[in-house]
Structure 1
Amino acid sequence: MSITKSQTDKIGAIFNGNRFVIPTYQRKYSWTNTEVKALWQDIQESIKDDMNHFVGTLSFKENKSVGLSTDTVYEIIDGQQRITTLFILLKVLIDKITDVNIQNNQLAAFIGSKDSLKLLPLGEDGEFLNRLLFAPQDLNPMNIRKRSQDSMFSAKLLFSAFVNSLSIKEVEERIIFIRDRIEVLVFNVESQAQAVKMFSIINDRGLPLRILDKTKSILMLYSTLHLNEELNESINNSFENIFDSYDDILVCRDRLGILSRFEENTVFTHHYYSARSLFPDTWNNRNGADTIFDNLKIKCEKLKENPIELKDFISRYLHDFENFSINYSQLISEVETNPLFQKSFRQLEFTATLFPLLVRLYVQKKLDTLLPILEAIEVRVYKLRGTNPIADIYWLSSQITEYDLSIDDIKNHLINFSEKFVNDHVFATYLDGAIYGNGAVKYILSEYSNEDFDLMSYKDFQVEHIFSKEPNYDTLTYGFSEDYNFEKNRLGNLAILEKHLNNGLSNLAPINKINGYINSINNEIRNLGGEIQKGEFNKTNVDERRMKIIDFCVSRFKLL
């Protein structure tokens, strides 16, 4: 059945005799279990209430049929999330039919065959959907790395769980309902330019769309309308790698327990902050994702009357963004295997502000050399002082992208940056204060122990007050004055101890904590237990210990 220019129709009529492809300017499948479950519940309630169910507007562009096929092929401009989800649901339902002839007839009408699906996402997602529907036994969920494919896999699992308890009669009832009683408003456009334009308009007017999808869409729009589709394939290929890199970062993030605030906008904005040369007129280190996207549109709009310059800008942006994303992913992946990165990324945990610089240095193979000074900056400025200066770091990120700065040049910039916020004197002053609860304390004490703790051991450590936080003894007898609430939180009175050993020690005097200390894997606190065992351990001892740790820190986290 041919789809007219504008009509209200049933899902069954749309699928019957038609095939659908998801074009390159489209977003990837992204429905979560929340949306999938909501669709299923809508269907269940509509069947119960004996009502038709309206699922919204679908937009298509008709393509020419290929070969001898009698089916009409349509590009999905808008609605691919709903169509893909209903497609998966129909296959799950049809698989439950026991009559082989009926099952084959339903497959031919709605799904197609293994070699000729009626719905085809482009690229690897199309191959994955084919396997998901016709050879799910060959899929290992542990090997699914793309978010779109994981979402399709999850949708099928959820529908399979819902359908499993249905009788054959109930299965048939739901197939008939989807076929005859799910209604959509259909728009069919005529040209490629109109299709891309409609997609951009539909998804730029308040409907939720991921920032990477919006970016891909707007670049496709300008390539289609102003460059005769010359860059469409490049845009699609580059964003395939960008999407894959983002998905790989998510997998590594969850496995490594780092980048807790990382999201899709992060890759997009971090690239922008380190790519000032692409946006010389509008670049601002305070811009958020929406403003950055607007700047991208402004740039394309400004250049659209000059195809040569527009093509050059889009090509440079694509190349740089793709390269940045791939290296971002590779850097995070290497954190798991490169011993040099373990402490800085997994124990200290670099602040998000530093990542544009970290990635650009990684691209230029300068990160290994500069890692110690970056670690010192993280401890001094971002953790200990607790400030988050961004202007200098984003400026430097763009400088090293635009110019071939030597390692010495970059090091000088980093030294000047740290001196501006926390020089050695300021560093020692902060360390001399009441810093319990500061994000740098645990890492400082771990480094002071002069041992290489594995990640599991490090995560298990707690910052312990040697003279207790809430003592059940008179602290005056140990040389402390009335300002104990300040003194107890200074560095000399803090140590790291395993959680299970620390339990139950909280209010005790140091002499009563010895057994806990000497059983630790931390040699420094074991020695501290031995020192306490000698007797007469008091404020003087923790003051001396504080000064030793401060001297150690100034040397360990040095700038030169």
Structure 2
Amino acid sequence: MIKSANQHPVFSLMSPQSNVLYKVPPYQREYSWQRAQWEALFDDLIEAEGAHFLGTIICLDQSVDALEATVFEVIDGQQRLTTLTLLMAAIHSILNEQVSDLDEDVKIDLVNLRRQIVRKGDTAPRLTPQRQGSNYNDFLYVLGQAGLPVDGSWTGYLSLRKIYKCFHHFKAEILELAETRDTSPVEAALDVLAAVNKAIIVKIEVASHSDAFVLFESLNNRGMPLTPVDLIKNHLLAQSERKQVMTVEDAFKLWNQMLTSLGDSYANQERFLRHYYNAFKLDLPQVPNAPVATKASLIRIYEALVSHDVENFMDDLLPASAAYGRITGVLDEEQPLDKAFAQLNRAQAAPSFVLLLWLLRRRDTLVIGDPQLERVASHLVDFFVRRNLTGFPQTYALPRLFMDMITALEGGQYQGDDVPAAVLNRLRQASSTEQVFRERLLGPVYEENSDVARFVLATLAEDAMTKESWQDLWRRERGHYVWTIEHVLPQGQNLPAGWIEMLGGSEAAVAVQGEHVHRLGNLTITGYNSTLSNKSFGEKKHRKDSFGRPIGYANGLSLNAYLMETETWTAEQIEERTVLLADQVASRFALA
């Protein structure tokens, strides 16, 4: 995993005589350190007794010709190296402004500092930061302003961006240090330079990007460590450039096109890469010891796939990502099939997306259209309601279940309507028994899985709606559902007196709460949960807003019809409504 791990003073890492260059890969975020981090670094350096420890950097040797240059890709540590370079540039700027007054020894220090920042001979910057946006151009411009032989150009709003601010912050800090110590700016700059050059960094070299990610986990990086998706992207960019298949910029555009289809959720991006491999494993280059893509094996798998055929790697990945984006609702075409996919997402059916991805990409071969896919999605919803409430089959068994379905369907004996029928048959075999499912429905479903409870209640309510009575029970405002689960009998400890009296006294109320509060019969859906809160049963039923509109259980949902018909709410009513709703749910999600 680790090729080497050694501590070095900064002067050694960025030696004026060395041929070493450090490059930040395109996948990294732009420079992001701010004033608090600049101040902390500067104070730590000048206040240190001896050499200050600056932490670790993780590098991957990407040299092509060792005689020309040793190029290290900075996997972790780019923020520190960029900040140190800007600090050294600020020191160079102050010394260079006084160059005519410097003695010969200090002039030698200035030359050495210049060669630490830019390589002797071709004046290439020792560090090449991330190129996105104006980040790289700002860096070159600032180095040029510091008196270094680097060409950079001013771009609009430069003074508002972090690289420019960092450089000028350090210049101001050095000048303020000179005033505080009652010394010259040159002396203060040399003191800071000495502190920088003797500061210690542990440089860890790894053999592959996969090793880098494993190392992040083992070190428990507290910053923003690279994800497997980041590292796979980096490997694609590096291989594209190394094999001269396409430019880094073109490869980066293709990768971002894929991410656009998948949305901003990292979980969705990472899951797509796992599902893509698991769905099309038989068509992909063989990866040793990788029967199933897992989070642990993902980097190794994709490094192998990219290295095998970087030129055609994105050809199928891009349309597959578009299909996955539709399944997950990122790319909604507002067709009946997309509504079926939305229900799948609400039913927490993500493990089945591998099957749907394969079906969407093979629909022509299987002779299936949207109606067949809608039936498959409906069967999967039924299956996952049962599975997520009973816990059977276990989570670890789900990838293999759907991969086995793909293998069976891939044989060619199923086409058209036979495809959803074959899926249904396999789901029935894998699902829990009716007895187990019903037992869970009669138990504390909210406590077992509140998302399943909400989904089944919302589904029952939606099934009874007409066009005139339609309510969007999945509408969100400010990131939260407008319609939420309401406990009819409140779940809080301090029950109001009216509830205690209805339930037969304090002890009885506690007993009823403990046994029944989270059961299906005590749950409903309302858009005014916080308004109803601990109010009495009568108030919850008939409450109205300031305009006279019903906001209690008279809100028009069929789910609340039973509640409107009873005058009391005790263990008997909860039990009766629980059985009633359990029957409806068992019938509605019957895998039929």
Amino acid at match of 2:472: D
Alignment-mate amino acid for residue 529 of structure 2: K
What corresponds to 2:44 in structure 1? 45
Q: CA deviation at 1:47?
A: 1.5
Residue aligned with 1:433, SS:
coil
Mapped partners of 1:157, 1:363: distance in 2: 48
Q: 2:196 aligns with which of 181, 198, 205?
A: 181
1:211 maps to what in 2?
228
8 Å contact from structure 1 (residues 331, 362) kept in 2: no
Which of the numbers 568, 581, 584 marks the counterpart of 1:549? 581
2:426 is aligned with 1:448: no
1:334 aligns with 2:330: yes
- Aligned position for 2:181: none
Which of 289, 296, 299 is matched with 1:282 structurally?
289
SS at the partner of 2:379?
helix
Where 1:378 maps in the other structure, the secondary structure is helix
Alignment-derived partner of residue 473 in structure 1: 501
Residues of 2 paired with 1:385 and 1:204: CA distance? 31
State yes or no: 1:391 paired with 2:392: no
Which secondary structure state, in structure 2, belongs to the residue aligned with residue 125 of structure 1?
coil
Number of the residue aligned with 1:559: 591
The alpha-carbon distance between structure 1 residues 467 and 85, as it changes in their structure 2 partners (threshold 3 A), is closer
Q: Partners in 2 of 1:382 and 1:415 — Cα distance? A: 19
2:419 aligns to what?
409
Please list the CA deviations of residues 343-394 of structure 1 after superposition, one character each: whole Å capped at 9, or x if unmatched: 5366x25254334335445555778623333322222212454754443544
Report the secondary structure of 1:274's partner residue: helix
The 3-state SS of whatever aligns with 2:330 is helix
Give the direction of change, closer, same or farther, for the CA distance of 1:393–1:54 in structure 2 (3 Å limit).
closer
Structure 1 position 459 matched with structure 2 position 481: yes
Q: Classify the secondary structure of the residue corresponding to 2:71.
A: strand
**Alignment coverage as a number of residue pairs:** 495
Identify which range, 441-450 or 47-56, moves more after superposition: 47-56
Whole-Å separation in 2 of the counterparts to 1:59 and 1:420? 46
The structure 1 residue matched to 2:441, chosen from 424, 431, 447, is 431
Which residue of structure 2 aligns with residue 344 of structure 1? 343
In structure 2, give the amino acid aligned to 1:549. L
User: Does residue 491 of the first structure (1) align with residue 520 of the second (2)?
Assistant: yes
SS of corresponding position for 2:40: helix
Structure 1: runs of 5+ lacking an equivalent: 1-6, 66-71, 142-152, 187-194, 254-258, 301-308
Q: Following the alignment from structure 1 to structure 2, what is the Cα–Cα distance between the partners of residues 390 and 434?
A: 25
Check conservation: 1:467, 1:488, Cα contact below 8 A: yes
Mark the CA change 1:531 to 1:378 in structure 2 (over 3 Å): closer, same or farther: closer
SS in 2 for 1:513: helix
Q: Does 1:87 align with 2:104?
A: no
How far did residue 272 of structure 1 move?
Answer: 3.9
Go from structure 1 to structure 2 and tell me whether the alpha carbon gap of 1:317 and 1:455 turns closer, same or farther (over 3 Å shift).
same
Alpha-carbon distance in 2 for matches of 1:175, 1:329: 56
Q: Show the counterpart of 1:4.
A: none
Corresponding residue SS for 1:472: helix
Alignment of 1:252 onto 2:271: no
Q: Give yes or no for contact 1:514–1:529 (8 Å, CA) kept in 2.
A: no
Deviation at 1:48, TM superposition (A): 1.9
Letter in 1 for 2:503: T
Amino acid at match of 1:274: A
How far residue 177 of structure 1 moved from its aligned partner, in angstroms, is 3.3
* Residue from 500, 525, 550 that aligns with 2:530: 500
The answer to whether the 8 Å contact 1:219/1:235 transfers is no
- For the residues of structure 1 that align with 2:442 and 2:474, how far apart are their CA atoms? 28
SS of the residue 1:446 aligns to: helix
- Say which is worse superposed, 490-499 or 315-324, in terms of deviation: 315-324
CA shift at 1:413, angstroms?
1.9
For residues 125 and 377 of structure 2, what CA distance do their matches in structure 1 show?
51
Relative to the length of structure 1, the TM-score reads: 0.62
What amino acid is aligned across from residue 519 of structure 2 in structure 1?
Answer: R
CA distance in 1, matches of 2:455, 2:318: 34
Matched, 1:29 2:57: no
The alignment yields a C-alpha RMSD, in angstroms, of 6.0
Task: Give the corresponding residue for 2:132.
Answer: 125
CA distance in structure 1 between the partners assigned to 2:386 and 2:489 by the alignment: 26
User: Computing the radius of gyration over CA atoms, which structure comes out larger, 1 or 2?
Assistant: 2
In the alignment, what sits opposite 2:551? Answer: 519
Alignment deviations for residues 1-28 of structure 1 (CA, whole Å, 9 cap, x no partner): xxxxxx97728965799895738xx584
Provide, for residues 477-530 of structure 1, a one-character-per-residue CA deviation record: whole Å limited to 9, x for no partner.
Answer: 9x99x887544543223212333223223xx4x235334484249835698489
Q: Distance in 2 between matches of 1:406 and 1:37?
A: 63
Task: Give the CA deviation at 1:441.
Answer: 0.9
Cα distance change of structure 1 residues 357 and 59 upon mapping to structure 2, 3 Å threshold: closer
Q: Quick one: structure 1 residues 119 and 489, their matched pair in 2 at CA, closer, same or farther if it must change by over 3 Å?
A: closer
Q: Is the 8 A contact 2:20 2:69 kept in 1?
A: yes
Note the C-alpha offset of 1:46: 2.2
- Relative to structure 1, the CA distance from residue 160 to residue 476 in structure 2 (aligned partners, 3 Å threshold; closer, same or farther) is farther
Q: Distance in 2 between matches of 1:513 and 1:521?
A: 6
Q: Could you tell me which residue of structure 1 aligns to residue 72 of structure 2?
A: 77
Whether the aligned pair in 2 keeps the contact of 1:61 and 1:74 (CA below 8 Å) is no
Q: Quick one: which amino acid aligns to residue 511 of structure 1?
A: G
Q: Tell me how far apart the structure 1 counterparts of residues 210 and 436 of structure 2 sit (CA, whole Å).
A: 52
Aligned equivalents of 1:136, 1:384: Cα separation in 2: 60
Cα 1:120–1:528 change in 2 (3 A) is same
1:304 aligned partner: none
One-letter identity of the residue aligned with 2:279: S
1:301-354 Cα deviation digits (max 9, x unpaired): xxxxxxxx99757777765666655654565562678572785366x2525433
The CA distance in 1 between the partners of 2:210 and 2:488, in whole Å, is 62
Residues 121 and 449 (structure 1), Cα distance of their counterparts in 2 relative to 1, 3 Å cut: same
Q: CA deviation at 1:271?
A: 3.9
What secondary structure sits across from 1:76 in the alignment? Answer: strand
The CA distance in 1 between the partners of 2:360 and 2:554, in whole Å, is 33
Q: Distance in 1 between matches of 2:168 and 2:583?
A: 62
1:371 aligns with 2:371: no
Residues 311 and 558 (structure 1 numbering): CA distance in 2 closer, same or farther, change over 3 Å?
same
1: CA distance, partners of 2:27 / 2:83: 15
Change (3 A) 1:526 1:219: closer
Looking at structure 1, the residues matched to 437 and 233 of structure 2 have their Cα atoms a distance apart, in angstroms, of: 45
Matched, 1:421 2:431: yes
**Relative to structure 1, is the Cα distance of residues 15 and 249 closer, same or farther in structure 2, using a 3 angstrom cutoff?**
farther
What is the TM-score with the length of structure 2 in the denominator? Answer: 0.60
Kindly state the Cα deviation for residue 76 of structure 1 after the two structures are TM-superposed: 2.7
Please say if residues 273 and 394 of structure 1, whose CA atoms lie closer than 8 Å, have aligned partners that are also in contact. no
Partner of 2:105: none
